[in-house]
Amino acid sequence: MASLSAAKQQLRSAMKQRLGTISHEAAISQSSAVYNTLKSFKPYVEAKRVSVFLSMPSGEIQTDAIVRDALESGKEVFVPYLHRNPVASPSLPARAMDMVRLKDLGDYESLKPDRWGIPSIDPATVHERQRIFGGPDAQHSDRALLDIVLMPGVAFDISPENGTIRRLGHGKGFYDYFINRHNAKSSSLKQEPPVLLYGLALSEQFLSSPSEGSVPVGPLDQPLDGLILGNGEIKSPIENKTK
C-alpha cells in the first residue's frame, strides 16, 4: 500500500506540472467541447438525476455550462458536499462526501466560492436540501439515487490488461467512498441499473501511451463507464476491450 500511495503521489506531482502549462483560454475551449459532446450524449440526455462536480478555477474541465444545461433541462442536479464522516474508523476517511440537490438556477448562482475557488453549498442550508445520504433530517434520502455521476480527476488512462478506464483522484478518497456507499444503497433497495460513472477531463489529463505513465489503482478505486475528453472524444472501456 505504501508503494501504491507513493506511485499515485508521484503521478499527481507530474500532472500538476503538466496542467500548470495549460492556458485559461485552452481550458475554456476544451470545456466547451466537453459540454457540446455531453449535451447530445444519450446516457446524460436520458438521466433524470445527475451529479456534477463544481470546478476549481483552473486545472480541470469547467462545468458551469453543464450545470446550467442540466437545470434548464429539468434534471435533478446534485453537487458535492463535504462533511465529517459519521462513521469513525481508521480505515475510512475522516471526512466524507454527500451529494445535495440544487433547488434551481438561482440557487446555483448564489453559491459562494470556498478557499479553493470552488462554488460551494452553504452548510446552513444542507438540512433543507434533498441529498443521497445524510442524517435523519435529509429529505427523502431513502429514495435518492443517482443515474449518472460526472466526475473530476487528476489523471486517467485505459488499462492494457483489461481495458477498464482508470482514474486518479486528488488523494482523499471522497468519490470512491461515495460510490461504494451508493452501490450498497442501490443494492439494498434492489434498484437497477447501477449508477453510471463518467469522467470529464482535459486532453492533457489522459495518458494515451505507456511513455506518459500509467494510473496506479488499488482495490477500492472505482473504474469508470466512460471518459469525455477536451477534444470531444468519448473513451469507452467496451470499445477498447474489443480492439
145 is in an annotated binding site: no
Residue 182 counted as an annotated binding residue: no
Per-domain residue ranges of the chain? 2-241
Residue 200's pLDDT band (boundaries 50, 70, 90)? very high
Among 75, 132, 125, smallest CA distance to 100 is for: 132
Q: Was 108 annotated as part of a binding site?
A: no
| Angstrom distance (rounded) from CA 144 to CA 128 | 15
Q: At 242, is the pLDDT very low, low, confident or very high (cuts 50, 70, 90)? A: very low
For strand 165-168 and strand 155-158, is the pairing parallel, antiparallel, or unpaired?
antiparallel
pLDDT greater at residue 129 or residue 34? 34
Nearest CA among 201, 193, 195 for reference residue 230:
201
Q: Is 141 helix (H, G, I), strand (E, B) or coil?
A: coil
Q: Give the Cα separation of 188 and 111 in Å (integer).
A: 33
Q: 167 a known binding residue?
A: yes
User: Annotated binding residue at 199?
Assistant: no
The four Cα atoms 6, 7, 9, 14 give a dihedral, to 10 degrees, of 140
Q: Is 169 annotated as ligand-binding?
A: yes
Percent of the chain at pLDDT > 90 equals 72
Could you tell me which of 45, 29, 13 has the C-alpha nearest to residue 232? Answer: 29
Average pLDDT over residues 74-102: 86
Please state which of the ranges 49-58, 121-130, 155-164 shows the lowest mean pLDDT.
121-130
Amino acid at 77: V
Question: What is the pLDDT confidence band of residue 226, given thresholds at 50, 70 and 90?
Answer: very high
Domain covering 2-241 in this structure, CATH number: 3.40.50.10420
Q: How confident is the model at residue 243 (pLDDT cuts 50, 70, 90)?
A: very low
Q: Is the pLDDT at 207 greater than 80, yes or no?
A: yes
171 assigned ligand-binding residue: yes
12 is in an annotated binding site: yes
Report residue 240's pLDDT band, with 50, 70 and 90 as the boundaries: very low
Helix (H, G, I), strand (E, B) or coil at 25: helix
**54 labeled part of a ligand binding site:** yes
Mean pLDDT (whole number) for 52-60? 96
Q: Which amino acid is at 153?
A: G
130 is known to lie in a ligand binding site: no
CB-based contacts of 114, cutoff 8 Å, min separation 6: 120
Report pLDDT digits (tens) over 98-156: 999 999 999 999 999 999 999 999 999 998 899 898 755 555 555 668 999 999 999 99
Average pLDDT, the chain: 90
Is 241 labelled a binding residue? no
Position 87 scores a pLDDT of 72
168 labeled binding residue: yes
Pick the more confident residue, 243 or 181. Answer: 181
